[in-house]
DNA sequence: TGTCACCTGTGATGTAGATCACAAAAAGTA
DNA sequence: TACTTTTTGTGATCTACATCACAGGTGACA
């Protein structure tokens, strides 16, 4: 849980009591490689904070092809936000690429926590804004950049990703076939 | 300003005093078609709420081609959030496609307002989350759908857009050339 | 230690869409 | 109303990328 405290305190200082209150609302779980945290078609009772490990958030289209939205890793918040917030069924999957340590919070606990500690909404607002900005920049790069420069940009921004993720998965994040990406690398 | 009140109260009930407090932090401005609210390279002192009118949020790449991120219209919040929040220079333009009535708020006023009325952060958190979700879905459609189905989806979701926006602009929102879009329509 | 699943590179071929070019139609503007 | 600017459709050509197919490599696990 210390990791969560440091993470929140980058934005919001916390007293010991406040942090204790926060921790009581989360459950720590361990997942193995391949485990699903969210599966298409099921409900999404929780939001997740990644303490350690690596996941993929992805959509599987009608033809069975995967499209990766993100690679959540240490210090990331992730879930199917649409399904989580509206208590609907998931439209996307969230699955472990590595064994992972995760803090989980239910919608009810999340709402309770925000009521008891309203300044946390400031924290989550910052996170949501950052997420929105990042998504917009991804849209821009999909609209305006070549596959090659998107690939270079990705590696520059997350150099460690290449060590942890297969090129097949990187291709499906970039929106090209793995063959095309392979030809780019060489 | 009544429009703003109704808009906020869809999420958050407000007393008359609270709403009065809010209004004192905004400035109402009228813009003509073609006017810029945000221009690449300049600072972004304000965030905008569209009372009436239509705008485009777009990036111009090195080759001079435009890429449209959104068509903000009635009841939308928009700005270059990255530049606004970090007081940096804008990377994207925000320009009027129609004469528009806009409520403007500076970063300082925004922060003051949220301090004085913390429950507003709840409102903005909802908006930011919705924006993030919408952006994610756009990424998914860029990754997984054909141009044709993205076009159909856009028209289904915003049928009025076709009346207000040229196909050239729609093409640059969808990420295809206007020639290709023209061939699709026929 | 052998087997199996997955990953990666590479060739051949097909296709969606970019780009260039032109003309007619529509919409602004003086 | 006349003139300019913008929008739209359509043809011809070119290119990036998808798809299919195959083979060698690597790590996981029984």
CA angle B58, B61, B67 (to 5 degrees): 35
Taking the alpha carbons of B24, B18, B126, B141 in that order, is the dihedral positive or negative? negative
Name the interface residues of A facing B (CB cutoff 8 Å): 59, 61, 65, 67, 69, 81-82, 85, 92, 114, 118-119, 121-122, 124-125, 128-129, 131-133, 135-140, 142-144, 175
For chain B, the distance separating the N- and C-terminal CA atoms, rounded to the nearest angstrom, is 43
Q: Report if residue B53 sits inside a domain.
A: yes
Give B109's DSSP letter. Answer: H
Average pLDDT rounded to a whole number, residues A7-20 = 97
Count of domains for chain A = 1
Which residue from B82, B131, B175 is facing A143, i.e. has the nearest CB?
B175
Instruction: From residue A109, give the alpha-carbon distance in Å to each of A4, A24, A47, A58, B106.
Output: 16, 9, 10, 26, 34
Q: Report if residue A103 sits inside a domain.
A: yes
Average pLDDT rounded to a whole number, residues B94-99 = 96
pLDDT at B185: 80
Answer whether residue B186 shows pLDDT above 80: no
Instruction: Say how far apart CA B1 and CA A140 lie, in whole Å.
Output: 33
Q: Report if residue B140 sits inside a domain.
A: no
B164-185 pLDDT, tens digit per residue, is: 999 999 999 999 999 999 999 8
pLDDT at A45: 87
Q: Report if residue A14 sits inside a domain.
A: yes
pLDDT at A134: 97
Residues A105 and A47: beta-carbon distance below 8 Å: yes
Alpha-carbon radius of gyration of chain B: 17
In 3-state terms, what secondary structure has residue A38?
A: strand
Range of the domain at B111: 2-117
Q: Report if residue A59 sits inside a domain.
A: yes
| Interface contact B138-A143, CB threshold 8 A | no
A81-100 pLDDT, tens digit per residue, is: 999 999 999 999 999 999 99
Q: Report if residue A158 sits inside a domain.
A: no
CA distance A92 to chain B (A): 10
B12-50 pLDDT, tens digit per residue, is: 999 999 999 999 999 999 999 999 999 999 999 899 999
Give B98's DSSP letter. Answer: S
CB of A43 nearer than 7 A to strand D: no
* Phi/psi of residue A6, nearest 5 degrees: -55, -45
Instruction: Say how far apart CA B46 and CA B87 lie, in whole Å.
Output: 10
Q: Give me the numbers of helices (H) and strands (E) for chain B, helices first please.
A: 9, 8
Instruction: From residue B111, give the alpha-carbon distance in Å to each of A32, B47, B71, B183.
Output: 42, 12, 26, 48
CATH number for position B77: 2.60.120.10
| Interface contact B136-A133, CB threshold 8 A | no
Q: Report if residue A162 sits inside a domain.
A: no
Answer whether residue B123 shows pLDDT above 90: yes
């Amino acid at each position: 849980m210390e990791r969560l405290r440091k993470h929140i305190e980058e934005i919001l200082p916390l007293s010991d009591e406040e942090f204790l209150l926060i921790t009581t609302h989360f459950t720590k779980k361990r997942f193995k490689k391949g485990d699903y945290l969210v599966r298409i078609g099921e409900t999404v009772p929780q939001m997740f904070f990644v303490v350690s490990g690596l996941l993929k958030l992805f959509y599987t289209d009608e033809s069975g092809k995967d499209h990766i939205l993100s690679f959540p890793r240490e210090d990331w918040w992730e879930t199917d936000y649409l399904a989580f917030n509206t208590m609907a069924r998931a439209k996307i999957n969230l699955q472990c690429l590595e064994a992972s340590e995760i803090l989980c919070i239910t919608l009810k606990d999340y709402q309770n926590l925000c009521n008891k500690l309203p300044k946390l909404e400031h924290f989550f607002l910052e996170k949501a804004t950052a997420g929105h900005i990042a998504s917009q920049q991804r849209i821009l790069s999909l609209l305006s950049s070549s596959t090659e420069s998107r690939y270079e940009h990705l590696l520059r921004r997350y150099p460690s990703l290449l060590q942890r993720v297969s090129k097949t998965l990187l291709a499906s994040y970039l929106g090209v076939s793995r063959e095309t990406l392979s030809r780019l690398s060489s």
